[in-house]
Amino acid sequence: MFAPFASRDFRVLWLAIFLRSGALWLDQVARPVLITELTDSAFLLGAVLAARMAPNLVLGLVAGAVVDRYPRRIVLVASQAGNVLATGALFALLLFDLAEAWHVIALAAAAGVNIAFFQPARQAILPSMVPESALRSAVALSQTANTSMRIGGALLAGLLLHFADFVWIYGAMTGIYVGAVVCTSLIRTRGAAGASAARAGGSLLRQTLAGVRWAFEARWPLAVLLISIVMFIFLVPYQGVFVPLMVLDVLGEPKSWVGYLIAIGGVGAAGGSLLLAGWRTIPAPGRLMAALLLASGLALAVMSGAPHLVVVGICVFVAAACSTNVMSLANLTLLAQATEGMAGRAVSLMNIARGMILVGALLTGGLADLLGARTGLLTMGVCLAVCAVILLATPLARRVSEDEPTAT
């Protein structure tokens, strides 16, 4: 399970992801609460999440080609530096009491650009850091670095929301991102595929189109993409929209509980990642992903009728554990079955799926405004469960299997 930590560069990357995740989850808690206080609009609450994820949809495949074309370490450092600039700008606006709703949304979009390049780079560099036998553990453990600070970052955000204000939160966030940049710059592995791809692959556009052609010829990546799209439309947006609404408007609890509930989700996500890291084989990852989506849909449906925070917390725990494993399984399948020179473009398919949060966030915010928090959340849960059942009942999920031959 912990074999990847024998690699010095994996340890440094893990720490960089850990720090970045701490800042990210501070933001995931604080930004929805901030926009709620500035506007009191559920639709704009969804618009913040949509703005963050829109760059993934626009830049997704191009970002994958960049990751394959240039040293992956450089892409990681540059994307982390962009986080410092975007977060530091909002910190300055809050410090001088100049922040408005459009600033919050625009800077969320700027942060989304950094996410579009960071996510495929951090996944694609893993095969250069660890032996092939340790790749599954490396993918799962890197996700653990991301999800474990979902606990610490969200708890810290909850405490800061209780005792301090948004200036302190975004000041701390900027400092943490600086630490992540320093750690990332210490990575020695550059990602050899980047240099070779730049020499042999032609223009950036040609490399991007080659990645698209590879996905259609292999076909199984399209199945991974579809399963992931379902998750990012109907599952992931609930946290940024319905958790704040359930806490603040439905149950009337203090805003600090938004952070505490997301931290509970972090416990579920970290536990799910560790479980995946310890599994020896996963013969049918496509069907497992669909089954996890079904469990998540049922959790959202139960949460919609929750009479107390305890029930909400249990449902958040289950949904987070399931969604984290779906993401890890998707990334693992794409990495394990693609050549190293195609790794960036393979995992950038997840950028396309991640960008569909744009649709899910606007849908979620619209449903919350139109139907209310409880009915809107129930609607999302039912839609997710129905899609999962359809995936399980069709041959599509069976296309994704560990013994699928690698496409070249």
Residue 51 falls inside a structural domain: yes
> Which of 379, 399, 247, 395 is CA-nearest to residue 308?
247
Residue 312 falls inside a structural domain: yes
10 Å Cβ neighbour count for 308? 9
Predicted pLDDT at 360: 84
Instruction: Give the structural domain span for 230.
Output: 3-399
Predicted pLDDT at 197: 45
Q: What is the pTM of this model?
A: 0.71
Residue 371 falls inside a structural domain: yes
What's the rounded mean pLDDT across residues 125-141? 83
Predicted pLDDT at 76: 92
Q: How far apart are CA 107 and CA 170, in angstroms?
A: 12
Q: How far apart are CA 303 and CA 243, in angstroms?
A: 10
Identify the residue with better confidence: 224 or 408.
224
Give the pLDDT confidence of 344-394 residue by residue, as tens digits.
888 888 878 877 877 887 788 788 888 988 999 999 999 999 999 998 887
Q: How many helical (H) and strand (E) elements, i.e. helices and strands, does the chain have?
A: 18, 0
Please, which pLDDT band fits residue 16 given cuts at 50, 70 and 90? very high
* pLDDT at position 231 over 60: yes
Decide: residue 133, CB within 10 A, 0-12 exposed, 13-18 middle, 19+ buried.
exposed
The mean predicted confidence, pLDDT, of the chain is 83
State the number of CA atoms in the 13 A half-sphere of 293 facing the CB.
35
Predicted pLDDT at 318: 92
State how many domains the chain has.
Answer: 1
Q: Do residues 312 and 246 make contact, with C-beta atoms less than 8 angstroms apart?
A: yes
Residue 405 falls inside a structural domain: no
Give the pLDDT confidence of 62-108 residue by residue, as tens digits.
888 888 888 889 999 999 999 999 999 999 999 998 988 889 989 98
Residue 406 falls inside a structural domain: no
What 8-state DSSP symbol labels residue 99?
Answer: -
Q: How far apart are CA 71 and CA 25, in angstroms?
A: 27
CATH code at position 93: 1.20.1250.20
Q: Work out the percent of the chain whose per-residue pLDDT is above 70.
A: 91
Residue 288 falls inside a structural domain: yes
Q: How far apart are CA 27 and CA 30, in angstroms?
A: 5
Q: Work out the percent of the chain whose per-residue pLDDT is above 90.
A: 23
> Which of 341, 286, 6, 237 is CA-nearest to residue 141?
6
Residue 131 falls inside a structural domain: yes
